[in-house]
A and B are shown apart, each in its own frame.
Chain A
Amino acid sequence: SQQGEEDPQALSIQEGENATMNCSYKTSINNLQWYRQNSGRGLVHLILIRSNEREKHSGRLRVTLDTSKKSSSLLITASRAADTASYFCAPQDGGSQGNLIFGKGTKLSVKP
C-alpha cells in the first residue's frame, strides 16, 4: 500500500468560505479514500472514489481524481465551524489487500 501526501498541511478560513485540500500519490491505484478526524477521536470515512471515476459528491463535499497527475482534491463548500478537523487521504493500490496508509493530513480550521 502507498501513502498519500496531503497539501497544504494547514488551512485557516472563515465560515462560509470554501476549503480545498489536495492529495498526491506515487503509483497507480484502485481507489482513493478521504477521512476526517476531529481532535483526539476516531476517523470518519467521507468518500471513496474509484480509479475509473473523475468526480464524486456527497453533500457539501466534492472529490476529484486525476489519475494522470496522480492527485485528488477534496472541496468543502460553505464551510462551517464544525468542519474544523484534520483531513486525510488514503490511496489503495492493488497490492494493499486491506490496509490504508495515512499521511500527515491537512489541518483545517474554520473560524466563526
Chain B
Amino acid sequence: KAGVTQTPRYLIKTRGQQVTLSCSPISGHRSVSWYQQTPGQGLQFLFEYFSETQRNKGNFPGRFSGRQFSNSRSEMNVSTLELGDSALYLCASSPYGQGYGYTFGSGTRLTVV
C-alpha cells in the first residue's frame, strides 16, 4: 500500500512569489490535513479537508489556501510568499479523521529567499 506522497520534496522560492504543494493520500483515505513546522512555532495546523470540503481551519492568514479533489488528492497554495513562510509543510491522511490515526508524508521543505 503506497504511503502519503508529497511533491516536491524541496522548493526554493523568492519573496512575493506563490507556491503550490501537492499531496496524494493513501488510497481510500478521505481526510487530508496540512501542517506547517518551523523551529520557532513547532507543528501548526493549517487546514483539513474531507470529501472536497474544508472541515477545519487553523489560524493562518488568507494567503494560505487549499483544496481537495474528487480523488482525495490535495493541494495547498501560499501566495505572496514571505521569509517567515520558510518551513517544512506536512500533509497527513486518514480514513475519516476523527477516531483514526493519521499517516504523514515526508513533507515539502520550502525555503523563501
Contact = CB atoms under 8 A, between A and B. Distances in A.
B92 A92 contact: no
Does more than half of chain A's interface fall in helix, strand or loop, or is it mixed?
loop
Contact of B104 (A1, A31, A42): A42
A109 B83 CA distance: 31
A104 B88 CA distance: 15
Interface string B81-103: 00000001010101011111111
Interface size band for B: 20 to 34
Contacts, number: 76
B79 to A, nearest CB: 22
Interface stretch (A14-22, A43-51, A74-82): A43-51
18 contacts: A40-B107, A41-B106, A42-B4, A45-B102, A45-B103, A48-B100, A50-B99, A97-B50, A97-B55, A98-B48, A98-B55, A98-B56, A98-B98, A100-B92, A100-B102, A103-B42, A104-B42, A105-B42
A67 to B, nearest CB: 16
Interface residues of A, number: 25
Interface of A: 1, 30-31, 33, 35, 40-45, 48, 50, 88, 92, 96-105
A45 B50 CA distance: 20
Contacts of B56: 1, 96-99
Nearest to B107: A42
B42 A97 contact: no
A42 B90 contact: yes
A98 B94 contact: yes
Contacts of A45: 101-104
Nearest to A103: B42
